[in-house]
Amino acid sequence: MQRMINIYGKFLLSAAVVAALLVILFVGIADEEGNRGVFQIAGAHLDTGQEVVQQDGGFGTLETENGKAAPRIFLEGRTGFSAGSVVLTDYIRAEAYDGRNLPVRILRVENPSGRDITASLSASGEIIFEESGIYVVEVSGRDDGNRKTTVQIKLPVI
């Protein structure tokens, strides 16, 4: 038992000395600039260099592109249509932010009863309006900056 107390006492004495040294190193010492502890003193005198910021113009270009409006899609020339054959691309226009005409893509055409008649649309954009009522045409336009607009246009047919 005596031997165990002797070993335990030496261990406690060694632990107290190590703890005191750590406290002195990390808290107890200070330099003339007011930095306390080994890490703060060493960190204050490290040369980290200047951070170099390179201006490549990427942000300016992004900001300019984001300021441009999305394509505008509108119906031009007529407000009503007669039953029969109509070339939709003659009347539906898409315009870019700078006024250039864009190609119009017809996505869907619904007749007045809500049935999808897109399959009867020809490659040139011609469709036959068989009945009177409001036809819904969904079209999209995309400009050179990949900005896309999709709208639904209601066409009255008498």
107 with 88: CB under 8 angstroms?
no
Q: Could you write out the DSSP letters of every residue in 47-104?
A: ---PPP----SHHHHHHHHHTSPPPEEEE-S-S-B-SEEEEGGGTEEEE-TTS-EE-E
Share of the chain above pLDDT 90, in %: 63
Element holding 105 (H helix, E strand): strand 104-110
| More confident of the two residues 73 and 41 | 73
With 0.85 as the threshold, say if the pTM is over it.
no
Mean confidence (pLDDT) of the chain: 90
| More confident of the two residues 111 and 42 | 111
Mean pLDDT, to the nearest integer, of 122-145?
Answer: 95
| More confident of the two residues 56 and 36 | 36
In 3-state terms, what secondary structure has residue 30? strand
pLDDT for res 54: 66
Which pair of structure tokens corresponds to residue 90? 């003659």
| More confident of the two residues 136 and 48 | 136
Q: Could you write out the DSSP letters of every residue in 106-158?
A: EEEEE-TTS-B-GGG--TTSEEEE-SSEEEEEEEEEE-TT--EEEEEEEEEE-
Q: What are the tens digits of pLDDT across the range 79-98?
A: 889 999 999 999 999 999 99
